[in-house]
Structure 1
Amino acid sequence: MKVATIGGGSSYTPELVEGLIDRYEEFPVEELWLVDIDEGQEKLNIVGNLAKRMIERAGVPIRVFLTLNREEALRGADFVTTQFRVGLLEARAKDERIPLKYEVLGQETNGPGGLFKALRTIPVILQICEQMETLCPNAWLINFTNPAGMVTEAVLRYSNIEKVVGLCNVPIGMEMNVAKRFDVDHERVRIQFAGLNHLVYGLDVFVDGVSIKEEAIRRLGESSTVKNIKGQDWEPEFIRALGVLPCSYHLYYYKSKEMVKKAMESETRAEVVQRLEEELFERYKDPDLSVKPPELEERGGAYYSDAAIRLMTSIYNDKRDIQAVNTMNRGAIHGIPYGSAVEVSCIITKDGPVPLTIGELPVAVNGLVQQIKSFERLTVEAAVTGDYEKAVLALAINPLTPSDTVAKQIVDEMLEAHRAYLPQFYSSSPKYTD
């Protein structure tokens, strides 16, 4: 069995390798191919050598291949995982910093940051899909690249790849947080998830099949659960009235003013990550290091290996367990198009995720989910067509943007800032033509 990882030089790769080692008996991978671009070759070699040391220490017969040739990596693959960043962290820093000039949040999957990361990323993922059709037509595409929901939406709507699942570590992180707060094993916890990527809600919370939602809302509504979103707590009255468990990314929508103020007073997350990655790769270089270092958790990739390898193992073994993934809605959430991507609890089978029917979302959350899904669909269309006006419209309807005028100003400035990675706008748009 062959697994190809696009963006193999990522600092997250040791998480993936750890998961492959831990689940080898259930998921016997023979070849792991790590592929990256020329600019990532140094990191690929560093993290690839660490991966080889980890596997050697574990004594599992997985062979690791490092390459800059994507076709070579994809040929004959059974699973393709994607974890790349078009424009690297420098692009993320622009995504975050430029919108703040207009007092708008620029986080990488929300608002202007999410828009422009999608505009850069979607053409690349669609190129990968075209290559997969020829080189590994039966492979599963497991996408971890953000914005995961919009990337999955683009693959579903604009490629011939049907075996695609988008993945995020937020749902499993929420489950782990419940397990920690209630002092139980993770296997005893199940949350009924529904919504969109980074806009997912826990509609109910179970321990041993018994609902503990009310107590979970009380305990877990106290603080954020992910490393890159800190410093804000929910108002108890609000969270009780909401009646469902939000994820940390909801802070950007329900506490926009506070989050903007905090962002304007601190360094960007991209700047923090750049520093963390420098430290991580120095650790990775250590020839005596042969395990995933604990510092990686600070990068924000906690439970990545659990989520990614658990999903692939369940597909491979037709486990039919329940996991929250990004997949085609297929009527699971009423009011969202059948063919659109949603993040929802699914039964994981050898034929892929089968969404559990949710029906109508609670009225308190349905409006925001519908608004963001409209933003996502327009963003995907703009990314594929290079339609400038669609990009402005997408940002204008996003709740983080105060007006269509501000949306246009941000889009204009960010198009110029990311010009090298957005050829579709400069070749097809009347406004952006060389």
Structure 2
Amino acid sequence: MKKHSVLVAGGGSTFTPGIVLMLLDNLDRFPIRSLKFYDNDGARQEIVAEACKVLLKEKAPQIEFTYTTDPEVAFTDVDFVMAHIRVGKYPMRELDEKIPLKYGVVGQETCGPGGIAYGMRSIGGVLELVKYMEKYSPNAWMLNYSNPAAIVAEATRVLCPDSKILNICDMPIGIENRMANILGMESRKELEVMYYGLNHFGWWKSITDKNGADMMPALKEYVSKNGYVPPNPEGGQHVEASWNDTFAKAKDVYALDPETLPNTYLKYYLFPDYVVEHSNPEYTRANEVMDNREKQVFTECRKIIELGNSEGCELEVDEHASYIVDLARAIAFNTKERMLLIVENQGAIENFDSTAMVEIPCLVGSNGPEPLRVGSIPQFQHGMMSQQVSVEKLVAEAWTEKSYQKLWQAITLSKTVPSASVAKSILDDLVEANKAFWPELH
């Protein structure tokens, strides 16, 4: 089996140790000869990288490991770039969440004005990674799960249409893990799903087991009462109070269309008043992450570095990382595995914009994804998706054209925002906050 060279772009991320642990757990399925980290924040990356160096030495000393802030060193001789960057880091996420809340509007990382602000920062960062990859390793694939994936996917579709970049998201995977738990199954891989929508904005149309038995009736009955809170909750990354509320709220989202099962993020678009009412404008999800996961990961990394071993280490394998290994494997070994990816619609959803970046099942092999046919979608979903895809396209256009007008239109069109005047107030505050990151708008 061929051994591959992997670059993690965003080496200083709190998710990086979990990805490394997942890669180490899967070396029999996806052998690695070299692992590199790249980040533009060398000091932050060094802490994560030095801890990972210890883990690699213990578990797989044969893998060549390096970390760097030099793009040429990082991107030369790699087969896969696993990208999860956060331009502006958590302090900017905090502003993405708190500025809209000041105006009574949902403050969220990927939804509404906060997601739009983050998208305006992410586009340039991801395009820079694509440029480096194409310059130094033109045959490599980029597996991008930098958020907000929908806006990034639209921008890369327009600005680098021939690039070998696949945009993916772990949220449906997290929900399918819960579905498997609800059904008493070992793994989500026992389910065959038909899902459609946009990123963080979709619905399950059908779910069967591997023998074709319909699992939807049992799941719908459970979700109508409990949302996606499983009978035996397991540990993992999404267990804080704010996440629990999101999984529970799915029962109200489901009630709006009992024909399908919803992605949890739809609560931000369908119940924005509820979300704002239950938000603390002084202490948002970004603060939760900085006070919990970020502290925990960096404390653990420092402990490993100090001890020189990983004894008693509390770093966990990230559930979303397993999806990345499956995707890399599918491309490397042409497995034709069925996976959810964000791809250009091109008729997969018959009655929807052919240029929209939709999240649908694809068969993945060495040439990338082959989208599966979804067919026609109902009016309710069509209306919701048309509005949201227009927001995403306007953001990508605003970034490309440096257009204040288009960004104002994008925020106004978001279902989370009540009026154009509120949109303008939020936008003006966001422009001020993002001076160091956004193109200068005119």
Please report how far the alpha carbon of residue 160 of structure 1 lies from its aligned counterpart in structure 2 after TM superposition: 4.6
2:365 matched to which residue of 1? 349
Alignment of 1:310-349 (within 5 A): 310-349=326-365
- The corresponding residue for 1:274 is 290
- Is the 1:344–1:355 Cα contact (8 Å) retained in structure 2? yes
How many residue pairs align between the two structures? 420
Change (3 A) 1:173 1:234: closer
Which residue of structure 2 aligns with residue 223 of structure 1?
A: 227
Q: Which residue of 2 aligns with 1:420?
A: 436
Aligned residue for 1:118?
119
TM-score (norm 1): 0.91
Confirm or deny: 8 A CA contact 1:102 1:406 kept in the other structure.
yes
1:199 corresponds, among 198, 201, 211, to: 201
8 Å Cα contact 1:21/1:60 also seen in 2: no
Between the aligned partners of 2:253 and 2:409, the Cα distance in structure 1 is: 34
* Cα deviation digits, residues 60-88 of structure 1 (max 9, x gap): 62222110112221122211111111111
Q: Secondary structure at the match of 2:65?
A: strand
Structure 1's 85 and 237: CA in aligned 2 closer, same or farther, altered over 3 A? closer
**CA shift at 1:185, angstroms?**
2.2
Question: 2: distance between equivalents of 1:76 and 1:230?
Answer: 42
| Structure 2 residue aligned with 1:14 | 17
Superposed counterparts of 1:216-295, under 5 Å:
216-221=219-224, 222-224=226-228, 226-227=238-239, 228-231=242-245, 232-235=248-251, 239=255, 241-264=257-280, 267-276=283-292, 277-287=294-304, 288=307, 290=310
Question: Structure 1's 258 and 201: CA in aligned 2 closer, same or farther, altered over 3 A?
Answer: same
Q: Tell me the secondary structure at the aligned position of residue 205 of structure 1.
A: strand
2:63 paired with 1:46: no
Give, in whole Å, the separation in 2 of the partners of 1:291 and 1:388.
53
Instruction: Say if 1:118 and 1:383, in contact at 8 Å, map to a contact too.
Output: no
State the match for 2:232 in structure 1.
none
Q: Are residues 72 and 303 of structure 1, via their aligned partners in 2, closer, same or farther at CA, if it must alter by over 3 Å?
A: same
The answer to whether structure 1 residue 81 and structure 2 residue 82 are counterparts is: yes
Contact 1:4–1:74 (8 Å) recurs in 2: yes
Between the aligned partners of 1:204 and 1:119, the Cα distance in structure 2 is: 34
Cα shift at 1:375:
0.5
Partner SS, residue 197 of structure 2: strand
Distance (whole Å) between structure 2 residues aligned to residue 237 and residue 249 of structure 1: 9
Deviations 1:289-313 (A, max 9, x none): 538965658xxxx412111111111
Q: Distance in 1 between matches of 2:256 and 2:215?
A: 14
- Tell me the CA shift for residue 279 of structure 1: 2.4
The equivalent of 1:362 in structure 2 is 378
Q: 2:156 is matched with which residue?
A: 155
* TM-superposed deviation, 1:282: 0.6
Residues 174-215 of structure 1, C-alpha deviations (whole Å, 9 max, x = no match): 221111111112121122111111012111111222221122
Q: Is the 8 A contact 2:197 2:360 kept in 1?
A: yes
Q: Aligned AA for 2:120?
A: L
Alpha-carbon shift at residue 269 of structure 1 (Å): 0.7
Tell me the CA shift for residue 236 of structure 1: 6.1
**SS across alignment from 2:244:** coil
Kindly tell me: are residues 238 and 188 of structure 1, through their superposed partners in 2, closer, same or farther at Cα, counting changes over 3 Å?
closer
* Paired amino acid for 2:403: D
Shift in Å at residue 238 of structure 1?
Answer: 5.1
1:34 has 2:37 as partner:
yes
Q: Which runs of 5+ in 1 are unaligned?
A: 430-434
Q: Which residue is equivalent to 1:432?
A: none
CA contact (8 A) 1:205 1:216 kept: no
Q: Would the alpha carbon gap of residues 103 and 254 (structure 1) be closer, same or farther in structure 2, given more than 3 Å must change?
A: same
Give the TM-score normalised by structure 2. 0.90
Q: Output the aligned Cα RMSD.
A: 2.1
Q: Deviations over 1:242-266 (max 9, x none)?
A: 3111111111122211111111366
Q: Which runs of 5+ in 2 are unaligned?
A: 230-237
Superposed displacement of residue 335, structure 1? 3.8
CA–CA distance in structure 1, aligned partners of residues 72 and 279 of structure 2:
40
**3-state SS of the aligned residue for 1:49?**
helix
